[in-house]
Amino acid sequence: MTKEKAPKGIKGWAQGRSLWMLHFCTGCGAIEMPPTMTSRYDMERFGITPMATPRQADLLLITGYLTVKTLKRVVRSYEQMPDPKYVIGFGSCTVNGGMYWDSYNTIKRLDLYIPVDLYIAGCMPRPEAIIDSFTELIKGIKEGRFDGWIRYRENIEFYKRNQAMVMDIRKWSLDTELAERIWNEVQEERKKRFERATVPHVYELAERIPEGLPK
């Protein structure tokens, strides 16, 4: 069986010229989207326009930190999008956690949970940076370089396992059988991590309570 490849040449050129972006805004990066969409930077000159539903979208922009709660919706939306689909990670939070690196409820690296084609570094990236990534994406699609959905399909076990470590994938995956199996597999490791993580650890802050507070 030949390995599936991303379209290139005239097919890729056509694909890259009519990207519809899923209007899914997470985190604070969403505030950079209105200027990018509207007349000042006008992303529609590249054929990119916001789309309301995942089933009609080609491009998913993750604009900032992802809590576990949002990640569930992102995974669900990503799986609903038809092939070919592209993901852009936007801002430091999707690269390495950014300023939420020690939060109890935000993931750090997005590309361990869904395949990312391009990252935009910065906190916040300016609309120029978004436009730059769009041009890079269009160029790459034409050359057939971006194949996120193929990577997702081929390494579905890896991605589902990582997702299962942080969230209940049974409710949020389209392939429920696979989700059920992998969820059962990771239960033991999940439990072990919870046990390790909940060792009581009192911060130094607690020692600095001012004396003589009324009770």
Partner 1 sequence: MSLEKEQKVVELVKASFEDAEAEVQRERRVKVWVKPNRVFPLVAYLKGHGFNHFVAISAVDWIKDGEIELVYHLWSYSEKVHVMIKTRIPRDNGSMPTLKPLFNQAETYERDIHEFFGVYFEGNEKLDREFILEDWDGPPPMRKDFDTRLFSAEFYDQEDLESEALRLKIQPYKGHLRK
- Taking CB under 8 A as the binding criterion, the range among 40-48, 54-62, 173-181, 197-205 that sits at the site for partner 1 is 197-205
How many C-alpha atoms does 71 have within 13 Å on its Cβ side? 26
Residue 200 touching partner 1 (CB under 8 A): yes
Q: For partner 1, which residue of 165, 178, 181, 186 counts as binding (CB under 8 A)? A: 165
What's the rounded Cα separation, in Å, for the pair 163 and 156?
A: 10
Residue 107 touching partner 1 (CB under 8 A): yes
What's the rounded Cα separation, in Å, for the pair 22 and 28?
A: 16
**How many residues sit in the footprint of partner 1 (CB under 8 A)?**
50
Cis peptide before 37 (omega within 30 of 0): no
Q: For partner 1, which residue of 8, 23, 108, 181 counts as binding (CB under 8 A)? A: 108
What's the rounded Cα separation, in Å, for the pair 174 and 187?
A: 20
CB 18 within 8 A of CB 137: no
Residue 180 touching partner 1 (CB under 8 A): no
Residue 138 touching partner 1 (CB under 8 A): no
- Taking CB under 8 A as the binding criterion, the range among 8-16, 31-39, 40-48, 111-119 that sits at the site for partner 1 is 111-119
Q: For partner 1, which residue of 19, 43, 118, 130 counts as binding (CB under 8 A)? A: 118
Residue 55 touching partner 1 (CB under 8 A): no
What's the rounded Cα separation, in Å, for the pair 83 and 23?
A: 17
* Residue 49 backbone dihedrals phi, psi, to 5 degrees: -140, 145
- Taking CB under 8 A as the binding criterion, the range among 10-18, 27-35, 106-114, 175-183 that sits at the site for partner 1 is 106-114
Cis peptide before 84 (omega within 30 of 0): yes
Residue 106 touching partner 1 (CB under 8 A): yes
Cβ-based burial of 65 (10 A; exposed 0-12, middle 13-18, buried ≥19): buried
The residue ranges that bind partner 1 (CB under 8 A) are 68-69, 72, 89, 97, 101-109, 111-112, 115-119, 136, 140, 145-146, 151, 155, 158, 162, 165-168, 193-194, 196-203, 205-207, 209, 213-215
